[in-house]
A and B are shown apart, each in its own frame.
Chain A
Amino acid sequence: MSEAIAGFGLGLRTDHYGDFIAARQPVDWLEIISENYMVAGGKPLHFVEQIRRDYPMVMHGVSLSIGSLDALDPAYLGQLKALVERLEPAWVSDHLCWTGVAGVNLHDLLPLPYTAEALRHLTARVDQVQEFLRRRLVLENVSSYVSFTADEMSEWEFIGQLVARTDCQLLLDINNVYVSSINHGFDARTFIDAIPPAAVRQIHLAGHETHPDILIDTHDQPVCQAVWDLYAYALRRIGAVPTMIERDDNIPPLALLIGELACARELAERSLGQRELAR
């Protein structure tokens, strides 16, 4: 049942269950938040299984905590695997981050130091998860608001080395690259240029909140022009990659998100056309 994923998708949100059940929507595939469906029963599983019959799906987690020093949670992994078997997603992603340590969960996507030690730790953990799930894990770069004095390399070097060591794949979040580039003062295109193109399995687009001194990744607004521009740049470098818009708060009617997704389609057609011309 796990189909190939191509084109343009959306994150499935409860506000839009009715729209997806009532009529076929111009959305090529859907991404679900894994944890929302790692429950025993009731509405979440009922609706996701119904919608799954009509749309290819991918699963996106927020609680794997791949970078934490706490041991991976076998109960969590077991539930994740059970959901994978139930929904047969094309792939399973989570974030390149940690969410807490010493048994505490901060329920946030916290940044890792870019050190050789962290890389060794992550390599072993990614291997463990990939072996358990029997599939390549897809990891997303996160937005960050602090960096560490311990850093020994850039974020993009760190990601490149992790991919080389584990053969994991990447969920390139263009908004997160942009937010972090402004917050930490690097050129977002340098990040895009350094990412191994063949490893990029999926792209996220999203909106953020702009403050005078910082950008905050909020997923509550439309995609801004700077992120569209960076997306076009990424497409020219990486080529066609399944792309979706993430909206987690201030959720508009589905038609508005589908309109925003149409912008992504048009931009991709234009950008990849240019790429072909450049050849």
Chain B
Amino acid sequence: MNSLATIENGLQAAILVDASASDLLAGAAQRSARGLDVYRAAYRARLTAALRDNFPVLLRALGDDAFAALASAYIDAHPSRQRSIRWFGDSLVDDLSRTSEPLPHPALVDLARMDWAMRAAFDAADAPCLTRHELIALAPEEWPNRRYRLVPSLQMVDLEWRVEPVWHALNNDPGVATEAPQRLAHTLLVWRRKLDCLWRSADNREGAALRALADGATFAECCSLLAEDGDAAAVHSVVAVLGQWLDEGLLARD
């Protein structure tokens, strides 16, 4: 008699890689094969649907057929190890960036990066935002060594292409005609303010400053990253950037 281990491993292999399970399954061969096909089809349909949910703009950019082919290859290469299907697709960006088969446009990888970051912001942890009012009380001598915490939803995503206009256009209208993006290395900021997922483009300098804050840098260290050539005007620009971060809700209350 087949053990539970034989049955679970055997049925799983039959679903994942079309291995034969005829020695496990009861009933007429045609009947059990039909039943097995239901599980096989449901498995692929469910994971494909998860990828469509997680990469909605990549789907629109590629079209249904090309996305289905991409999804199918991904499902074959990465059987889900996620407890929740909500996270299925976590290696898709890496796969796309390493693929030996040329994509229709290399900027599609950045579209996928933006999709994944937006999805991650959606249900990231909540945190109250730091306000300008709370910083007013800070004594002048406390400013240089002040450290800041970023809101948990904030992600600094390195992009090679300026894909945001394409992402924005396709997100609003699946059928819209878009122009090919320009190559521009920069940082995409994605975060959630209250319930709304937000994004904006930033230069790499600002991205590096935010990453430094996330790693525990002081305000003074952050200033040195933001300030260009250490000139006096830089202090004003740093204060302006800090004000923008506060207004946008990028910094969390301690």
Contacts and interface: CB of A to CB of B under 8 A. Distances in A.
A264 B36 CA distance: 33
B46 A149 contact: no
A35 B12 contact: no
A134 interface: no
B25 A148 contact: yes
Nearest to B7: A113
B25 A147 contact: yes
B38 A216 contact: yes
B173 interface: no
A69 B38 contact: no
Interface string A34-53: 01101111111110000000
B82 interface: yes
B86 A35 contact: yes
Contacts of B123: 39-45
A150 B2 contact: yes
B39 A108 contact: yes
Given A63-B83, A108-B39, A146-B32, A101 B8 contact: yes
Given A73-B83, A145-B38, A106 B25 contact: no
11 contacts: A35-B83, A63-B83, A98-B8, A100-B80, A105-B83, A108-B43, A112-B4, A145-B34, A146-B21, A146-B32, A150-B2
B56 interface: no
B125 A41 contact: yes
A184 B21 CA distance: 17
Interface residues of A, number: 47
Interface string B2-29: 1111011101100110000101111100
Contacts of B176: none
Contacts of B195: 42-43, 46
B7 A150 contact: yes
B238 interface: no
Contact of A146 (B39, B122, B192): B39
A184 B83 CA distance: 30
Contacts of B8: 68-69, 98, 101, 110
A120 to B, nearest CB: 9
Interface in B124-160: 124-126, 152-153
Nearest to A121: B4
B25 to A, nearest CB: 5
B27 to A, nearest CB: 6
